[in-house]
Structure 1
Amino acid sequence: MIVVLFGESGSRPAACVAAGMAFFERLGDPGFDGMVIFSDRTAMTTIETYRANAAAQRAAAEKTNLPNRRDMHQRSAITWETMARAAEETQGRAQVNLAAKASAAA
């Protein structure tokens, strides 16, 4: 089961993940695999979403006692973190390219 959380404006992904995990631990839901977070007023960046998903996968890995499922969650977290790093690098390259274009036009 994947959960979608709607956070308050300005809420941080890690805080939403922690709140969601605490909620499902209180419920004792063994089928909880992770979550995707959306804010009601402030959109999360792609990078924040990827990092929140990685945190949710790491939390799910810590929670399970099944080795194969733990490994699956850890691999998923690594994938989400890799995607976040790639998005950051792409964003950085885009800024450099824009600056180069602006200086060439001047």
Structure 2
Amino acid sequence: MYLFEEIESDSGLSGFSSGVEFYELPFEMLANRSNIGERGKWLFRVDGVLPLHCPAGTLDPPLCQKECDAGTWGFRCENKCHCRNDIPCDFATGFCSNAQCADGWMGINCFEG
């Protein structure tokens, strides 16, 4: 494993290789996103195996640039939002921006029904 952190320069090339294709990680993405949940930090396997999972709220490994569709959240976007008045929830946590659950749902992310 290799931990990539403290990115200070936009020179060089970083990304993933499948042996057939190379997936470049742009500097803006390296500096402001993460695949381990800490901004600017990336964990890479050096044995050539691509990561199979994305952080909560994102899809399409290895780059994980696609956010969950509206109304879904969590790992692999498998959970549905249950906010009052169909207000969108946070794509990573499921928290409702209006802090209110739809009828029949409760909990901090309205997931208990």
- What is the TM-score when the length of structure 2 is the normalising length? 0.26
Structure showing greater relative contact order (alpha-carbon pairs closer than 8 Å, 6 or more residues apart): 1
- What is the TM-score when the length of structure 1 is the normalising length? 0.27
Between Structure 1 and Structure 2, the one with more strand by share is 2
